[in-house]
């Protein structure tokens, strides 16, 4: 039996795949567009293509692969490997474990992407051996994961930990989920982009206008470029997003009294130096000082590889 693993981060826009060697180091990576708009079969084909390419391009023998793990958005039963539903992908009661095991003849494991990100940080990243941890992952949306009493908490229906849909303002902007004032409606790239566009339409001068171009959602690297150039609108919009991220973080600290909060995702990966000191400052307004004193707030150590490592943890049965 093989000792290597294949781990996948299946997202709404891209599928990232990696081969990890027997020492758990990433040795090879492949990235492809998900092509969500082409439907279920195309998405399935893209995931299979990534695995095929990883094996072929790296010169790995299929027999060297002990298992395949994955993280994907949606409500996923990590015990059975079934995707119950996914809001942004064409999946409902989709037995992806069966499909993948039939195709490759290799055991397949899967969990929710934000939960896998949390698991990655807990087993291989910043939160190793911490008993209670909150993970907030800021990207296109805002995902969350919880470690409670040394165990990944996903709830009885596998749908717990939707931290991004905590409403911070009941009269606030509408979120993709239909509620108002969610953390995601303030801190995600979707909401940051919306705020930038509103301000551009009001006639604000900003280099973000050129950086955004035809893109529907701003890229994290473009936000970073504007922040580095001290663009006043970029500073203002990001400061607002960080303020609400701190409000959400503060609520979660009050509720869970965690040992650690890990902030991750693409936005933190690019803009962590801007975000971290501000979050730590603003969060004081939203927490009880005694609880905050016992909580470390840190930036993800694994960055873009958090879900890959969480998928490795689930292969190895490390859910606590
Ligand atoms: Zn929401």
Q: Which pLDDT score is estimated for 102?
A: 97
- Based on the fold, state whether residues 107 and 21 are members of the same structural domain: yes
Across the chain, mean pLDDT equals 95
Overall pTM surpassing 0.85 (yes/no): yes
Q: Which pLDDT score is estimated for 215?
A: 78
Q: What percent of the chain has pLDDT over 70?
A: 99
Q: What percent of the chain has pLDDT over 90?
A: 92
DSSP letters, 85-151, are E-TTSS-EEE-HHHHHHHHH-S-EEEEEHHHHHHHHHHHHSTTTT-SSEEEEEESSSEEEEEE-SSS
Q: Which pLDDT score is estimated for 253?
A: 98
Q: Which pLDDT score is estimated for 218?
A: 94
Give the mean model confidence (pLDDT) for residues 72-86. 94
CA of 163 to the centre of ligand 1 (A): 9
Q: Which pLDDT score is estimated for 155?
A: 96
317 has a pLDDT exceeding 90: no
Cα 307 from Cα 25, distance rounded (Å): 14
Q: Which residues contact 317 (CB under 8 A, 6 or more apart)?
A: none
Q: Which pLDDT score is estimated for 214?
A: 82
Listed residue (55, 63, 52, 32) closest to 103, CA to CA: 52
- Based on the fold, state whether residues 183 and 277 are members of the same structural domain: yes
- Based on the fold, state whether residues 63 and 170 are members of the same structural domain: no
Residue 118 resides in a domain: no
Confidence band of 235 (pLDDT split at 50, 70, 90): very high
Do the beta carbons of residue 50 and residue 87 sit within 8 Å? no
Q: Which pLDDT score is estimated for 12?
A: 85
- Give the three-state DSSP class for 157: coil
CA of 174 to the centre of ligand 1 (A): 8
From the centroid of its chain, how far is CA 26? Answer: 19
225 has a pLDDT exceeding 90: yes
Structure-token match 């567009």, residue found = 33
Give the mean model confidence (pLDDT) for residues 287-313. 96
CA of 139 to the centre of ligand 1 (A): 14
The domain tally of the chain equals 2
318 has a pLDDT exceeding 90: no
CA of 244 to the centre of ligand 1 (A): 14
Encode pLDDT of 136-165 as tens digits.
999 999 999 999 999 999 999 999 999 999
- Based on the fold, state whether residues 139 and 240 are members of the same structural domain: yes
Q: What is the dihedral of CA 305, 311, 312, 315, to 10 degrees?
A: 180
- Based on the fold, state whether residues 51 and 19 are members of the same structural domain: yes
Structure-token match 């717990």, residue found = 160
CA of 273 to the centre of ligand 1 (A): 26
263 has a pLDDT exceeding 70: yes
Confidence band of 13 (pLDDT split at 50, 70, 90): confident
Listed residue (256, 268, 263) closest to 292, CA to CA: 256
CA of 144 to the centre of ligand 1 (A): 12
- Based on the fold, state whether residues 105 and 31 are members of the same structural domain: yes
β-bridge mates for residue 48, sequence order: none
Residue 117 resides in a domain: no
State the DSSP code for 303.
G
Residue 98 resides in a domain: yes
CA of 167 to the centre of ligand 1 (A): 7
CA of 278 to the centre of ligand 1 (A): 23
Cα 6 from Cα 194, distance rounded (Å): 36
Intra-chain end-to-end CA distance of the chain, in Å: 25
Q: Containing domain of residue 101, as a range?
A: 4-112+306-315
- Based on the fold, state whether residues 184 and 73 are members of the same structural domain: no
Residue 286 resides in a domain: yes
Residue 121 resides in a domain: no
180 has a pLDDT exceeding 90: yes
- Based on the fold, state whether residues 153 and 193 are members of the same structural domain: yes
Residue 120 resides in a domain: no
CA of 185 to the centre of ligand 1 (A): 6
Q: Which pLDDT score is estimated for 2?
A: 83
Query: In this structure, what are the phi and psi dihedrals at residue 176, rounded to the nearest 5 degrees?
Result: -55, -25
- Based on the fold, state whether residues 68 and 179 are members of the same structural domain: no
Structure tokens at 318: 């490390």
CA of 169 to the centre of ligand 1 (A): 11
Which CATH number belongs to the domain containing residue 81 in this structure? 3.30.420.40
β-bridge mates for residue 72, sequence order: 112
- Based on the fold, state whether residues 258 and 179 are members of the same structural domain: yes
Confidence band of 205 (pLDDT split at 50, 70, 90): very high
Residue 320 resides in a domain: no
CA of 73 to the centre of ligand 1 (A): 14
- Based on the fold, state whether residues 71 and 164 are members of the same structural domain: no
Confidence band of 320 (pLDDT split at 50, 70, 90): low
- Based on the fold, state whether residues 105 and 153 are members of the same structural domain: no
Residue 119 resides in a domain: no
State the DSSP code for 179.
-
Do the beta carbons of residue 217 and residue 190 sit within 8 Å? yes
Query: In this structure, what are the phi and psi dihedrals at residue 315, rounded to the nearest 5 degrees?
Result: -55, -45
Encode pLDDT of 118-138 as tens digits.
999 999 999 999 999 999 999
């Amino acid at each position: 039996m093989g000792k290597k693993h294949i781990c996948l981060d299946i997202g709404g826009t891209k599928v990232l795949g990696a081969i990890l060697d027997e020492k758990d180091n990433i040795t090879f990576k492949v990235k492809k567009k998900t092509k969500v708009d082409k439907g279920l079969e195309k998405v399935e084909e893209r995931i299979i293509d990534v695995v095929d390419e990883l094996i072929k391009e790296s010169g790995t023998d299929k027999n060297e692969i002990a298992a395949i793990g994955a993280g994907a958005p949606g409500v996923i039963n990590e015990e059975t490997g079934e995707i119950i539903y996914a809001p942004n992908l064409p999946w409902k009661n989709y037995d992806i474990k069966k499909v993948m095991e039939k195709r490759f003849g290799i055991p397949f494991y899967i969990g929710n992407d934000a939960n896998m990100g949390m698991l990655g940080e807990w087993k291989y990243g910043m939160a190793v051996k911490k008993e209670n941890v909150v993970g907030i992952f800021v990207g296109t949306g805002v995902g969350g994961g919880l470690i409670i009493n040394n165990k990944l908490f996903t709830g009885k229906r596998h749908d717990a930990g939707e931290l991004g849909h905590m409403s911070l303002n009941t009269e606030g902007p509408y979120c993709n989920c239909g509620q108002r004032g969610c953390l995601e409606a303030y801190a995600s790239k979707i909401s940051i982009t919306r705020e930038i566009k509103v301000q551009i339409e009001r006639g604000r001068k900003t280099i973000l206008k050129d950086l955004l171009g035809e893109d529907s959602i701003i890229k994290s690297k473009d936000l970073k470029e504007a922040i580095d150039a001290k663009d006043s609108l970029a500073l203002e919009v990001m400061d607002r997003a960080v303020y609400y991220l701190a409000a959400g973080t503060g609520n979660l600290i009050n509720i869970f009294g965690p040992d650690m909060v890990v902030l991750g995702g693409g936005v933190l990966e690019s803009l962590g130096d801007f975000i971290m000191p501000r979050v730590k400052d603003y969060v004081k307004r939203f927490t009880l000082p005694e609880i905050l004193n016992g909580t470390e707030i840190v930036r993800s150590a694994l960055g873009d590889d958090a879900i890959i490592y969480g998928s490795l943890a689930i292969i190895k049965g490390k859910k606590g």
